[in-house]
Structure 1
C-alpha cells in the first residue's frame, strides 16, 4: 500500500487527520505531506487553538492551519499569530538567499515574497505551487527568493552593462575609460536608487561618475570625460550630479 493510500485510509478513521492533497508532479505522482507534518496537523486539530505551540510548528503545518481556519481570521488571535510566524520564516529564507543585495532592496524583496506566499496560501483554487507549500514550504519560498534576487541583479546589470556600454560614442574610441570607482557591494546600493533619477542624462552621468570614476573635465585629451561625452560645461555636469544625488538619497537614504 502506498504512502498516499495509507494517508487516505487513516484520514477516513481519524477526523483530525488532514485530507490528502489533490495535485501532484508533472509525471502524475500525487503530492504527499511528510509523516511528521501529518501528525502535527492531527495533533493541532485535536486541541483548542489557544494551546497551540506555534513557534514549534513546521511551516507546512502553519500553511495548512491558515487554510483550515481562514473563516475565523477576524475572531481568532491564533490566526494572526500563524500569519506573523510564517512571515518571519519567509524573511529569514529571503535574507539567507539574498547576500550581496542592499538592505533596502532586501526589505523590498521580503515584502514582495511575503505577499506572494500569502497569495499562494489563500488562493481560491488549488495550484501545484500552492499545494506544494504543504509538502516543502522552504523549497517554494527559497525558489521565489532566488528568482527575485536574480531579477534584481539582472536589473542592476541592465544599468551597468547595457546603458554604460551605450555611453561610449565613436568620438570616444581610443580614449582611456576609468575602472569602476566602487566595489561591487557599493555599486549594488548605488543601482537601487537609479530609478529615482528622472532625467536619463542625469542618470547616465551619475553612473559614469560614481560607478565608473569618469572625470568631469580634466586636461588630458586622451581620457574620457563627462563634459566631452555630453558636450556641456563643467558647471552643468555638477548641477546634474547634485540633482541626481538628491533623488537617489531620497530613495535609498542618506548613507550613499
Structure 2
C-alpha cells in the first residue's frame, strides 16, 4: 500500500503522510474531504467499495501480534475498547496467532492477540474504517519484530505465517451464517441488511444477488434478522456449531391500509448483469491482504 514510504524507509508516503492515519475516523472529524486524502488511501477505499469483502488483513512490521478493533477510544485513553463484534474478532485473531510459528507464545501479548486501543490508540486507521464502512472484518497483523527485515529473512517470515494465513481463510468459509434474501411475491433477490440481536453492527447484502456472509463466533445461539425497505422483516434463531450455516430469507411485501403492496426501491433487475457482477455471485467469502 505504501511503496514510496517503503523505498524511503519511513512511515509516510512520498508526501510524508502516514497512510494508516489517513482514513475517515469514527470518533473525530478528520480525513472527511475526499479530495484531500492521499491517492493510496483513495485507491484502497474505492477498491473496497467495488468488492464486497468479508474480511481483510493488513500486514505490518515492528511487533509480533494479531491486532483487532477498535483501534482507538472515544476519549483517546489507552484502554480496551471493544467493537460490537469483539468476540468474533478475538476468535479470528486467535486463529491466526495459534497457527503461527511463535506468535501465541508472546510474553507481551497474551495469546499473541491484542485490542488496538488497549495496545496504543490510533485514529484514521484502515482497520476500523473497513469494519464500519465496508462490512469487512479486518485484522492488523504485525508479523515481524523487525520493522525493516532484510531480504534474506523473507522466506522465513513466509514459513512462519503460511499456515496462519491459510487457516484464517478456512475459518472465514467455515464460520458464521450465509444465504440470500428473496421476495415472496416475485422471487427476486432483495438487497437489504442482516442484523444479529445484541450486536450493534449490521451487514449489507450484495446489491445484485442479495447474498450475504455474516461472520460469527462458533458455538453460540444467535437471532438473525433480515430487513428490506417495503417488506416485513423476518427473524430466525440459529445454533451455530463449528461449521457455517445457510439461512435464506423470503420476505413478504408490506401492505398499505388500502390493500396496495409496497415495493422496495432496491429490487434489482438480475437480467441485466455485467460479467463482473455475475461472476461475483459465485465467489466464496473473500479475504484481502494489503501490506503497509
Question: What TM-score results when the alignment is normalised by the length of structure 1?
Answer: 0.25
Higher-Rg member (1/2): 1
TM-score, normalised to structure 2, is 0.23
Relative contact order, higher structure (CA 8 A, sep 6+): 2
Greater helix fraction, Structure 1 or Structure 2: 1
Name whichever structure is richer in strand by fraction: 2
